[in-house]
Amino acid sequence: MKIGKVGLGVMMVVLMMMLNLSTCSAWFGNKRKSGRNSILPGEAMSSRPSLMNHAAGSSIVFPIYGNVYPVGFYNVTLNIGQPPRPYFLDVDTGSELTWLQCDAPCSQCSETPHPLYKPSNDFIPCKDPLCASLQPTDDYTCEDPNQCDYEIKYADQYSTLGVLLNDVYLLNFTNGVQLKVRMALGCGYDQIFSPSTYHPLDGILGLGRGKASLISQLNSQGLVRNVMGHCLSSRGGGYIFFGNVYDSSRMSWTPISSIDSGKHYSAGPAELVFGGRKTGVGSLNIIFDTGSSYTYFNSQAYQAMISLVS
Ligand SMILES: *[C@@H]1O[C@H](CO)[C@@H](O)[C@H](O)[C@H]1NC(C)=O
Ligand SMILES: *[C@@H]1O[C@H](CO)[C@@H](O)[C@H](O)[C@H]1NC(C)=O
């Protein structure tokens, strides 16, 4: 999904590169913030000392299923809840929150591959920083201080209303440790979609830059370094990792710009080059968005493209 804040007339969105070979990218986020560790007591399947090694030495890797065509999206399986149940999530570096279609009850949900998520009662309060991160303005109002309501609008007109809560994510680390980690999750109980945005998935895996994104939460709990990367094959499939760089021999590195102070990953102003030649179209703000199937241009770049191919 493309996230809604497409403002400034800049249409962005680069899907990770459709080259012949697998294309891998990784990026570093901000420095790790210290925070509360919410591994559930007694749930860790390892002793404390090896837990302490996570931030230094381990990563979490999820296989990715899907392709640009004909499937049109990428999904990963996450195990969430108590007991953990599997859900298929749309991988989206263009938005922040991870959420599931949710039986709260659901006033509008699409068809899902698995039974709807049943929300925990572990609500996140309205003034929590994770909630604040999902609101359109800093001075948002709280109808109920004990509950965080949010609305997310994606650029393709898809939107979701939900409540933020904590639940348990079952995570396998590459060092062999399996942990149940309590993290924020959206319970989406009212979705609006058009036929073109229709994906029969359980939810969205938000990997954007904000505090609420999965990588930020994992990092603030000290579980992994604030590094995330993905590897997508033109033949479909691939993997995504969090924490230590996984399979570094296959990575290419792109510095992530700090110009976009928002919640997107951007490689900085780009220039449109066609057939190896400069087109004069520059200063394009391009973002990486795995949730979008195609690469989109603003009208200036689009017109330039069209006149060059015709
Ligand atoms: C999501 O991925 C799983 C494999 O993990 C696959 O079986 C399923 O068909 C995918 N979902 C959709 C809707 O494509
Ligand atoms: C984690 O690992 C276990 C055993 O190694 C495996 O059965 C399970 O499917 C894995 N779970 C996830 C979420 O990848």
Pocket around ligand 1 at a 6 A CB cut-off: 65, 71, 75, 77, 88, 113, 200-201
Contacts of range 19-24, beta carbons closer than 8 Å, 24 or more positions apart: 19/234, 20/234, 21/233, 21/234, 22/231, 22/232, 22/233, 22/234, 22/238, 22/250, 23/231, 23/232, 23/233, 23/234, 23/252, 24/229, 24/230, 24/231, 24/232, 24/247, 24/250, 24/251, 24/252
Nearest-CA neighbor of 114 among 124, 101, 133, 130?
101
The answer, yes or no, to whether any atom of ligand 2 lies below 6 A from the CB of 86, is no
Instruction: Say how many Å lie between the CA of residue 90 and the centre of ligand 1.
Output: 10
| pLDDT number for residue 260 | 58
Task: Indicate which residue's Cα is closest to atom 3 of ligand 2.
Answer: 172
| pLDDT number for residue 17 | 28
The answer, yes or no, to whether any atom of ligand 2 lies below 6 A from the CB of 172, is yes
| pLDDT number for residue 150 | 97
Beta bridge partners of 78: 87
Mutate to test the pocket of ligand 2, among 168, 172, 205 (most ligand atoms within 8 A of CB): 172
3-state secondary structure of 249: helix
Domains, the chain, with CATH or none: 31-244 (2.40.70.10)
Mutate to test the pocket of ligand 1, among 69, 75, 198 (most ligand atoms within 8 A of CB): 75
| pLDDT number for residue 162 | 97
Cα–Cα distance for residue pair 170/252, rounded to 1 Å: 29
Give the number of the atom of ligand 2 that is nearest the alpha carbon of residue 171: 13
Cα–Cα distance for residue pair 134/216, rounded to 1 Å: 13
| pLDDT number for residue 86 | 98
Give the pLDDT confidence of 134-154 residue by residue, as tens digits.
Answer: 999 999 999 999 999 999 998
Give the pLDDT confidence of 172-181 residue by residue, as tens digits.
Answer: 999 999 999 9
| pLDDT number for residue 72 | 82
Catalytic residues: 92, 289
pTM: 0.82
Peptide bond into 105 cis (omega under 30): yes
Give the number of the atom of ligand 2 that is nearest the alpha carbon of residue 79: 13
For residues 304 and 281, the answer to whether their CB atoms sit within 8 Å is yes
Instruction: Say how many Å lie between the CA of residue 79 and the centre of ligand 2.
Output: 9
Q: What residues in the chain have per-residue pLDDT under 70?
A: 1-57, 197-198, 258-261
